[in-house]
Structure 1
Amino acid sequence: MKYDVVVVGGGPAGLGAAVEAKKTGAEKVLIIERDRELGGILNQCIHNGFGLHEFKEELTGPEYATRFIEMAKEANIEYILNTMVLNIDEDKNIVALGENGLIDIEAKAVVLAMGCRERTRGAIDLPGYRPSGVYTAGAAQRFMNMEGYMVGKKVVIYGSGDIGLIMARRMTLEGAKVQAVVEVNSHSSGLTRNIVQCLDDFNIPLLLQHGITYVHGKDRVEGVTISKLDENRRPVEGTSKFVECDTLLLSVGLIPENELSEDTGVNLDNRTKGPIVNNKMETNIEGIFACGNVVHVHDLVDFVTRESRIAGKNAALYVMNKTKNDKLIETKAGNGVSYIVPQHIDLGSDEEINLFMRVRNIYSNKKLVVRCGEDVILEKKRLHMIPSEMESLKIKSDIIKNLKGNIEICVEGV
């Protein structure tokens, strides 16, 4: 099996990359998906709010996925389902395991689009027994929205990630009582709109700077002990209280799925836990690209699509020998900035570049400043910035071509 571009993952990133690769000129494009259908996480996200940037209308997750699945089929893009990629070498030879056994595939370019997974109970070391009734928020979402199984009636949600917030509303609409959303930080880790629409609109309390210090119950969850936390995240004496529940949902962060990337020899960023990429979304291995949540966790699927288009386009151009590599400079996260993607910029780029980043803390009336040495090349005022909402800056191509060294982005006072 020989292909121009092979895309690993058939979720929003993989679909967007495959469609763009074919559109750009790659003749043979293949998507390899480990699940039973294309669409990825979008299939279980039955709420609306998708597509406002991409399609200028509000869609549900399945509707958004369907549009790209139809584009892929119209472009005659091949896909294999129920198939797991086991190995990719530096020459882009792929070994996958499908329903009919092992498959050997030769690719001229590869796009990594495996998405991300949820952090589990083991990752946060929750004290207590291991009763039934403890789910990650995404697993509960799949059970309810795709399998038709109601996971519980009295619910506590630990962590205020977007899936957890959305599940607070979903459980309430299905008749469950959501006792509280418990967050260890002083701010939510989800989007502001989800706080308003999923918690405030349903009078669900959000307990900031609180932690779950014990899970009660041996066979089934019977309740949790919640305590207020000090600045070192230690329980404050005298603040503990027992909250009865039969279900505990965990929404405590997402981790990019990069075991395959690492085995292939792709360099990972310690901060994002995803591949280090340049503005073409190319990794350190020539001809291997990455995009979407496998690179860094996004807020909106529309931004995943935007990024996947860059990866798909450049994968196709690489196959067609229409890419050229110029000098690479680094992007560095300065004061107040947690990370920046892409981590490298090609000075020969003919297109403007979007830099995505997250800030470390909550900031009001500050500005993002881009510096090259002592020179300020761009600055943007922001009324409000929080770690849970991604920031982006556009740098025009004429500015990029005149850069003399690495750039740094900082948060500075107005």
Structure 2
Amino acid sequence: MTDIDVLIIGGGPAGLAAAIEAYENGCRSLLLLEREGSLGGILKQCIHNGFGLHMFGEELTGPEYADRYIKKLINYGIPYQCDTMVIDITPQKCVTAVSRSSGLQQFRAKAIVLAMGCRERPRGALGIPGWRCAGIYTAGTAQKFVNMKGLMPGKRVVVLGSGDIGLIMARRMTFMGAKVEACVELMPYSSGLKRNIVQCLDDYDIPLLLSHTVIDIKGKEHLEGVTVAAVDPQTLKPIAGTEQDFACDTLLLSVGLIPENELSGMAGVELSGATSGAIVDETLETSVSGIFSCGNVLHVHDLVDFVSEEAQKAGRNAYQYTASQGACEKTELLEIVDGFGVSGTVPQLIHKETKEDLMLMFRPKAIYQKSRVCIDVGEKNVLSKSVRILAPGEMVSVKFKPEYLAHAAQGDKITVRVEVAK
């Protein structure tokens, strides 16, 4: 059993930022574990630009963004292990990992930062009828084939779902000479960023079919085509008579991301039904003392810059936890709840005596125009902020000031809600 002050699980943008921040705050007993063969996470295959505007003030590609952190990690001499799979975490913060080079390893940590990222929702979760033929990929898998292995999945493509990876892959496949027939979205709005809709679909005349879905897959050995139909906006059921066929050899799935919280569950961490990530307080500490969560394993972000900012906070607070031996005074916890139009607010808890400003992040449940984002402490409204438009594809951040808590009484909840203009 090896003793470590701060153990970080995941070598993507969240894990890298957390490790560097812990080191810069004085931690010298730390270790980062990564299951893949190299650091960087999903950024390694994101060769498009648009990263780093918030963190570095310039546009970088995914590999360039990751390289900034990897070089700093190496220059600091922060220890890390790649090709190392964590297979168990206990509530006592004992971690078991396996690797080809070191075999079975066990670590006892004073604090753990969970930074495992997220995975794509597969076809099996969708219930689409049809044969299990070749030619159906998640958008991230196709991205890895094209950008890292130089392999083209096919030449005629339909994209199901309008998540950011799917939108970006529609453009990428077009660049590579494929014909993208359509991007099909079940909801009446896109789940991706507006800029990606414009730059990846509109600029290349790729149709976006809202309130549509794939109802049939044709082809036994290899995909030959799909049938798409409009759906009722209320029930999301296909509408008879609206079917249209698309001949294609590739179907890319961009139907949502799922935080990788299997290890969190092993550790006894309480998970949120809204985000599928951990329930955390304003320090990003989970329900298990000394275990912190950040990045896409906590809640799915739009921008990697925000992942890095959040991970820095987790790394800093994890080290402070070890420095205080977990003996920091814990004051009364207030619950942050989702009100009208709000889904998945993070953090979900806040200590009444907190002294720092914090950001509350959530996703709108629908499109709201000329509305207000409001925060209530108990029955008292402490913030009302006008916004031109809110959309589910773009995360909303609201600054919460500690002085708002002066209005909190015993048992009060903090409600984040959308107020629609009449």
Query: What TM-score, normalized to structure 2?
Result: 0.96
CA contact (8 A) 2:377 2:404 kept: no
Residues 89 and 131 from structure 1, CA distance in 2 versus in 1: closer, same or farther, beyond 3 angstroms? Answer: same
Read off the aligned partner of 1:182 and give its amino acid letter: V
Summarize the alignment of residues 276-287 of structure 1 with structure 2, pairs less than 5 Å apart. Answer: 276-287=279-290
Aligned to 2:107: 105
Question: Structure 2 CA distance, aligned partners of 1:216 and 1:193?
Answer: 33
Read off the aligned partner of 1:172 and give its amino acid letter: T
Work out the number of aligned pairs and report it: 414
Question: Structure 2 CA distance, aligned partners of 1:112 and 1:59?
Answer: 26
Per-residue deviation, residues 251-306 of structure 1 (Å, max 9, x unmatched): 00000000110111000001100000001000011100000000110000011011
Aligned to 1:42: 43
CA contact (8 A) 1:366 1:411 kept: yes
Summarize the alignment of residues 10-409 of structure 1 with structure 2, pairs less than 5 Å apart. Answer: 10-99=11-100, 100-231=102-233, 232-321=235-324, 323-400=328-405, 403-404=408-409, 405-409=412-416
Alignment RMSD: 1.1
Question: Structure 1 CA distance, aligned partners of 2:237 and 2:364?
Answer: 24
CA contact (8 A) 1:349 1:401 kept: no
Per-residue deviation, residues 3-37 of structure 1 (Å, max 9, x unmatched): 11000000001111111111112111111000000
Question: Structure 1 CA distance, aligned partners of 2:406 and 2:263?
Answer: 34
Q: Structure 1: where are the runs of 5+ without partners?
A: none
Residues 35 and 324 from structure 1, CA distance in 2 versus in 1: closer, same or farther, beyond 3 angstroms? Answer: same
Question: Structure 1 CA distance, aligned partners of 2:204 and 2:221?
Answer: 30
Question: Structure 1 CA distance, aligned partners of 2:84 and 2:406?
Answer: 43
What is the SS of the residue equivalent to 1:97? strand
User: How far apart are 1:406 and its partner, in Å?
Assistant: 1.8
CA contact (8 A) 2:377 2:407 kept: no
User: How far apart are 1:398 and its partner, in Å?
Assistant: 2.8
Question: Structure 2 CA distance, aligned partners of 1:324 and 1:57?
Answer: 40
User: How far apart are 1:401 and its partner, in Å?
Assistant: 5.2
User: How far apart are 1:93 and its partner, in Å?
Assistant: 1.0
CA contact (8 A) 1:225 1:240 kept: yes
Deviates most, 341-350 or 267-276: 341-350
Q: Structure 2: where are the runs of 5+ without partners?
A: none
Question: Structure 1 CA distance, aligned partners of 2:420 and 2:366?
Answer: 14
What is the SS of the residue equivalent to 1:59? coil
Question: Structure 2 CA distance, aligned partners of 1:400 and 1:18?
Answer: 32
What is the SS of the residue equivalent to 1:187? coil
CA contact (8 A) 1:221 1:247 kept: yes
| 1:413 corresponds to 2:420 | yes
Read off the aligned partner of 1:152 and give its amino acid letter: G
What is the SS of the residue equivalent to 2:112? strand
CA contact (8 A) 1:314 1:323 kept: no
Question: Structure 2 CA distance, aligned partners of 1:39 and 1:122?
Answer: 28
Question: Structure 1 CA distance, aligned partners of 2:46 and 2:128?
Answer: 27
Question: Structure 2 CA distance, aligned partners of 1:63 and 1:325?
Answer: 40
CA contact (8 A) 1:317 1:323 kept: no
- Percent identity between the two aligned chains: 52
User: How far apart are 1:402 and its partner, in Å?
Assistant: 5.0
Deviates most, 347-356 or 178-187: 347-356
Per-residue deviation, residues 94-116 of structure 1 (Å, max 9, x unmatched): 10011131111111100000000
CA contact (8 A) 1:348 1:401 kept: no
Question: Structure 1 CA distance, aligned partners of 2:118 and 2:225?
Answer: 29
Deviates most, 193-202 or 369-378: 369-378
User: How far apart are 1:381 and its partner, in Å?
Assistant: 0.7
Read off the aligned partner of 2:286 and give its amino acid letter: T
What is the SS of the residue equivalent to 2:16? helix
What is the SS of the residue equivalent to 1:195? helix
Question: Structure 2 CA distance, aligned partners of 1:126 and 1:18?
Answer: 41
Per-residue deviation, residues 354-404 of structure 1 (Å, max 9, x unmatched): 000111111000001100122111111111001111001101233335533
Question: Structure 1 CA distance, aligned partners of 2:113 and 2:274?
Answer: 21
Query: What TM-score, normalized to structure 1?
Result: 0.98
CA contact (8 A) 2:374 2:418 kept: yes
User: How far apart are 1:210 and its partner, in Å?
Assistant: 0.7
CA contact (8 A) 1:26 1:319 kept: no
Question: Structure 2 CA distance, aligned partners of 1:346 and 1:72?
Answer: 32
User: How far apart are 1:347 and its partner, in Å?
Assistant: 2.0
CA contact (8 A) 1:279 1:345 kept: yes
Read off the aligned partner of 2:33 and give its amino acid letter: I
